[in-house]
Chain A
Amino acid sequence: MKTSIAHIAYNTFREAVRDRVLYNLIAFALLLSGAAILVGQISIEIEKLVVINLGLTAVSLFGVVIAIFIGIGLVSKEIEKRTLYTVLSRPVRRWEFIVGKFLGLAGTLVVNTFFMAIGVFAALFYVSHKFVHADGLVFMALYFIILEFLIICSLALLFSSFSSPLLSAVFAFSLFVIGSFAEDLRGFAAMAHGITRWLATGAAYLVPNFSAFNVITSIAHEQPVAGQLILQNTVYALFYAATALSGAVLIFEYRDLK
């Protein structure tokens, strides 16, 4: 990796840490420990199911919110505050800046997810007093959640490279919501006719298919994830993130920093 990319990535991570982004972990810990205590008292036999469902959904949602709200300001805030001027006047190429920012945000989310994962496992241990082999499946769900974050980070960065933070937030959040129902959209496209079918099919394949990454329920029921799905999701997420990132680079390369 080019060293300037690594320095920019580290600085982005440092910004997130110093701006107290990781404080969300406290909220997460409170939520999860509260839930674990509560379900331990009111549910019989399904404590694990509830904790895994709730824990992993919270990991995903907390991460998505962080990815969107940091991602949308990654470029636009730097332009607005003019911090970018002293970076790009150095031997740093614009694409290096974008890639560095992306990796910094992705790194922040990975670290955040790591600590949340500890919380999930702690809650699991609290309700079942032991770990079983099937609990390892939680790692697979976490991996898919991280892949999901990569896509969201790249989209937030793409919007941030040409739009205001507010509009970028709206775009990114809308895509996240639509993408979460991508399978339904594809189903609707299959049933539609004429031009609606074409439009719906186009939209269904254009928006990120987040529903393919949601394996939380099946993992909570201790159902293993197919190897093909792992490969498919990995390739899809990397391709989608790389495409969105290339778009961001392309826009930013020709943008006047007024």
Chain B
Amino acid sequence: MLAIEILGLEKTYKVGFWRKRPKPALRPLHLQVEEGEIFGFLGPNGAGKTTTLKLLMGLVFPSAGSARFLGKAWTDPTVKAQTGFLPEQPYFYDYLTAHELLEYYGQLSGVPAKQRKQRIEQILQQVGLHDVQGVQLRKFSKGMLQRVGIGQAILHDPKLVFFDEPMSGLDPIGRREVRDLMDQLKQEGKTVFFSTHILSDAEALCDRVAIIHKGELRGLGAIEDLTSTVRGKVEVIWQGTQMPPSIKALGAECHVAADTVRVIIDENQQDAVIDALRRERLRLISLTPVRTSLETYFVEKLRHAETTAATTV
């Protein structure tokens, strides 16, 4: 079953003093996310990621289109009990403690009292806030608030979780923990839809990604498919610090590390390099085709979009 089905969702704001000038924030968006997937929604700042998430959460109303969650209409109240949401740079009632906040959200989500107590304990442990559960949120750092935000999003054990920039404000350890948590959610069979502009996070976590720019979908697919373009280059790594003259003569890009040498050569030069390494009795460590990184794919897509826009004008 599809977890999320976005059917031509579109948003145009009316701006200006008389609110007559249309400003498109999201062009008709069609997207499908399978159950159990971690889906990355990528785009630069101002691309329309947050608008899309707000539309999906019913915080802003679409100019056209609709969506379905877990096979039901997105406006169905029962669907909301099965979705969790972490907004971008979340801010919570700072007069509450972490425990009180989770209690409040648990009540609003309809989690039964008995189950709620147990679940709050579990979540506080999971997001690493158990020791500070009695501290008012006004004393929390940005990273701690982000953890509370993640906690409230998964508190009611939703099947579908939406995260808007979940790594924002976190230190490297915090980011790693969030990655692990998202991985764990996937293991539990949940669907995670998250927006980010940090491509390494998307590359490490996502099954599939969509790229959005200026409110328009620019790319969609599995990470392996998007990064599988072999650019006709091969990366060769061997042990040692010396560069055989025959390889040097090929004019390859060369990087010497502590006790390894790495070169990037054309595919048709790989036999010559291997022969040279054999002759010099150097130990080959790896030989791998160079794949396009998600970042390269992303930048190329955006550049293409800019060029198309410039030509149209």
- Give Cα A70–Cα B224 distance, bound, in whole angstroms: 54
| Chain A-chain B contacts (Cβ-Cβ < 8 Å), number | 79
Q: Which one of A7, A14, A18, A254 contacts B108 once the chains associate, using CB atoms below 8 Å?
A: A7
Pick from B88-96, B195-203, B214-222, B264-272 the stretch touching chain A.
Answer: B88-96
Mark A residues whose CB is within 8 Å of B: 3-4, 7-8, 11, 14-15, 18-19, 81-93, 254, 256-258
Q: Which one of B54, B92, B107 contacts A86 once the chains associate, using CB atoms below 8 Å?
A: B92
- Judge whether A86 and B85 touch: CB under 8 Å: yes
- Give Cα A11–Cα B61 distance, bound, in whole angstroms: 27
- Give Cα A14–Cα B153 distance, bound, in whole angstroms: 23
A-B complex: 4 closest residue pairs judged by Cβ atoms: A18-B95, A89-B85, A256-B60, A91-B80
The contact sample of 22 A-B pairs, CB cut-off 8 A, is: A7-B108, A8-B108, A14-B96, A82-B87, A83-B91, A83-B93, A85-B57, A85-B90, A86-B85, A86-B105, A86-B153, A87-B108, A88-B59, A89-B57, A90-B81, A90-B108, A91-B78, A91-B109, A92-B108, A254-B61, A257-B60, A258-B54
Nearest A residue to B108 via CB reads A90
B52 → A minimal CB distance (Å) = 14
Q: Which one of B81, B85, B107, B156 contacts A85 once the chains associate, using CB atoms below 8 Å?
A: B85
Mark B residues whose CB is within 8 Å of A: 13, 54, 57-61, 77-78, 80-81, 83-87, 89-93, 95-96, 104-105, 107-110, 149, 152-153, 156, 162
Q: Which one of B13, B91, B153 contacts A81 once the chains associate, using CB atoms below 8 Å?
A: B91
- Judge whether A256 and B61 touch: CB under 8 Å: yes
- Judge whether A15 and B93 touch: CB under 8 Å: yes
> Apart from A11-B104, A89-B59, A89-B162, what are 5 other A-B pairs with CB-CB below 8 Å?
A82-B91, A83-B91, A86-B105, A89-B80, A89-B83
- Judge whether B91 and A3 touch: CB under 8 Å: no
Residues of B contacting A15 in the complex (Cβ-Cβ under 8 angstroms)? 93, 95
Q: Which one of A83, A87, A91 contacts B81 once the chains associate, using CB atoms below 8 Å?
A: A91
Nearest B residue to A17 via CB reads B95
Nearest B residue to A20 via CB reads B95
Q: Which one of A3, A4, A81, A257 contacts B54 once the chains associate, using CB atoms below 8 Å?
A: A257
